[in-house]
Chains A and B, each alone.
Chain A
Amino acid sequence: MKKVKSADITALVERLCIEACCIISEDINKKFKSSLLTERSPLAKEVLSTLIDNAQIAREERSPMCQDTGMTVVFVKMSQNIQIEGGFIEDAINQGVRQGYEKGYLRKSVVEDPFNRVNTKDNTPAIIHYELVPDDDVFHITVSPKGFGSENKSALKMLTPSEGVEGVKKFVIDTIIEAGGNPCPPIIVGVGVGGTMERAAFLSKRALLAPLDVVNEDPYLSNLEDELLEEINKLGIGPAGFGGTTTALGVNILTNATHIAGLPVSVNIGCHATRHAEGEL
């Protein structure tokens, strides 16, 4: 049995909050640069250059790329043989968020209740997803601060099986047209298909974390991702919504077994930073 100390979880989450907000993922940075070569609009090229400059400033100064340092979404992947010592895992994670947002000079954007809307002033509570894995001794955390410019433009629909893949494609495209320039394009598109309503939503969130330079192992999904990316980039929305041929940097699809009567589809839109950082104990 592997033991993990709650204080170590706190320290890891603290570090990952700051890293995720200040350091752009290399796969995204590479996409910015390759998009500069293919983008047709001069204004869009200006925007892409600005995003590259911004990411560099943020990395060098350890300041957040975006002032909206998000609601903190934390994915925990752990083995069932892990024993947490020194306190409740959820408290340890929230303490890490508290410390990370304070020490990293990150904005505190969370309100304690959707109706009374009083700021908790430390960005807690985090949204935490736990996943148990069969391998022994795994304790892995991904921190993904999610800004609401893009979160607000995400959507879910319960399609019927007869609508099929064409219905899924149409819903993805319609969601992105409706989002327009608001979610800070060039966006990353996470799509969850199947399962139940909440499973599709979860998968679309997790799909945002998949690296852009890794091809989906499922050839059907890989083709669908390519097709959707091409269609999205024909929409004309462009970087910052100012028009152009770079509306999305990538599309990632995750699927799940579902019910004979259903075809849930969820689209989670990530902004051009789609921040995430991971580590393990």
Chain B
Amino acid sequence: MNKDTTDKKVITSPFTNEVINELKTGDMVYISGVIYTARDAAHKILFEMIERGEKMPFEFEGQAVYYAGPAPAKPGKPIGSVGPTTGGRMDAYSPTLIENGLKVMIGKGTRSDAVVDAIVKNNGVYFAAIGGAAALMAKCVISSEIVAFEELGTEAIRRLVVNELPVVVAIDSQGDDVYKKAIEEYKQ
């Protein structure tokens, strides 16, 4: 994507509040650093662990969660195709996770008002990766290791080191929503 442009904005994960504050809805940015995969089943377990007051399997502060369940890795590759899954299915759990520090999310599609409120309150951000561009995104992954819930297979929590993963700021820390804003702009 836009390989020739030199002005592309690369940001590093884990995130500081300063970096989050600079992001504006509709910005295309590239994430380098550590991100953690978790989707439906892992969210349910994390949510229940928080309710029981248990320790999280990774430190939440500043970290980004990627809603993704990768395809199996071919021999010699760190991971298989790995695009985003629908963020809305995590809406029931996200406000609680955000309150507990996991306030940077990468997925696709709209989020509930409760999630947007939690993002604004906690200075978070929701990025959208391009749904279905999973073969391309696999090439951004340098390494992958399972850190929790191995029994969930593709839904296990994986620690990924990524290089310039292309994403769009979908909901910024002010609660501005690309899905609402952009549609209004191009609606005829």
Contacts and interface: CB of A to CB of B under 8 A. Distances in A.
A50 B166 contact: yes
A66 B182 contact: no
B109 to A, nearest CB: 4
Contacts of B182: 41, 43, 236, 238, 241-244
B80 interface: yes
B186 A236 contact: yes
B132 interface: yes
A271 B84 CA distance: 13
A91 interface: no
Nearest to B89: A152
Given A51-B133, A182-B86, A234-B188, A67 B68 contact: yes
A272 B184 CA distance: 22
Label chain A's interface by main secondary structure: loop
Given A46-B2, A105-B80, A236-B183, A271 B131 contact: yes
Given A58-B81, A182-B86, A63 B1 contact: no
Given A50-B166, A53-B1, A242-B168, A181 B110 contact: yes
A245 B131 contact: no
What range describes how many residues of A lie at the interface? 35 or more
Interface of B: 1-2, 26, 28, 68-74, 80-83, 85-86, 88, 108-110, 128, 130-136, 138-139, 153-154, 166, 168, 178-179, 181-188
Interface of A: 40-41, 43, 46-47, 49-51, 53-55, 57-58, 61, 63-69, 105-109, 119, 121, 149, 152, 180-182, 184, 234-238, 240-245, 271-273
15 contacts: A41-B186, A46-B2, A67-B81, A67-B82, A149-B109, A180-B110, A180-B183, A235-B183, A236-B182, A238-B186, A241-B109, A243-B178, A244-B186, A245-B186, A272-B132
